[in-house]
Structure 1
Amino acid sequence: MAVSKEHPAIHRKLALIIGNDNYRKPYNRLNHSNNNVNDLSSALKKINFDVTKLCDSNKKQLITTIIDFTKTINDGDLVLFYFSGHACQAIKKNYIIPIDDNKIESDTDIEDFSVNIERTIERLVEINPSYLTVFILDCCKTYVVENASTSNTSTKVTALSEIRPPVGAFVQYACAANQTIRDAVETDRNSLFTKHLLKNIARENVDFTEVFRDITNDVYKEGSRKQMPFSINKFQGNGPVYLNQVIKPVKPEPQPKQSFDDEWDEKSEGNLELTKKAHAQIKAYYDNFPSIEDVMNDKKPEMKEAKAFTDSILQSVPSGNVTEGATVCHVLKNMLQAQNIECLFYDSTHGKDLHDSSGILAEISSQERPFILKLNSSDGLGGGRGPTTQHGAIRFARILTESIQNNKVHPVIQDVLGRLSEAHRTDKENINVAAVYVGSFNFAYTVKNWTLGTVESLPELEKNLKDKFEQFSDAKIHPLLCRPAFDISDFDKQGNKTFPNPSETYEVGPPGRTQKYTSPAGWTRYGLKVIGKYSDGDSWLDPFRDPGNWYRAFHGTGRASADDFNKSKQSFDQQYAPVDALASIYKTGFRPARVAAFGSGVYCSPDPTFPEKKYVGVVQCDTQQGRKNFKCMLQVAVSPDGVVCTSDKNIWVVSNPEDIRPYGILIKEA
Structure 2
Amino acid sequence: MATSSNDPSRHRKLALIIGNGAYSQSRNKLYYPANNAGDLSDALKRMDFNVTTACDIAEQEMNKLITDFIKNIGNGDLILFYYSGCASQVNGANYLIPIDDDKIKCETDLQFFGVDFDRALTRLVKKNTSYVSVFILDCAQNYLLASSTATNSTVKSAGLQKISPSPGVFVQFACDPNQMAGRTSQAERNSLFTKYLLRHITTQNVHLVEIIQRIEGDVYQESNQKQKPISMNGLGQNQQIYLNGKIKNTKDYLTDEQISQEEIIHYNQCKEYYSSTGKPLISVADEVLDKSIGLKSPILKIGIDEDCSKFDVNDYMSQFCNKVKVDANIFEIQKIQNGSAIMTLSLSDKIESNEKKRLLTLIYNSCNDRLQNDLGQIKTFFLFLGPEESLRKMQKHQAKINLNPKFNRIYASGHNFWQGAISDGKDRGGKPYYCPIGWKRWSFYVTDNFDQKFSGWCIGYHGTKFEYGLSILLNGLKPANIAALGAGIYFTPSIAYASHPRYSEVKAIPVAARKNFKSGKYIQYVLECRVHPSSIKRIGCETLAAAAKIDPNIKNEDIEWVIDNQNKEIVDFNDPSSPIVCTGLMIRITDEHPGLLPETQWWFAGHLCDNDQCCKLGISYSALQKAIKNGDTCNIIYD
TM-score using structure 2 length: 0.38
- Structure number with greater Rg is 2
Higher relative contact order (CA closer than 8 Å, sequence separation 6+): 1
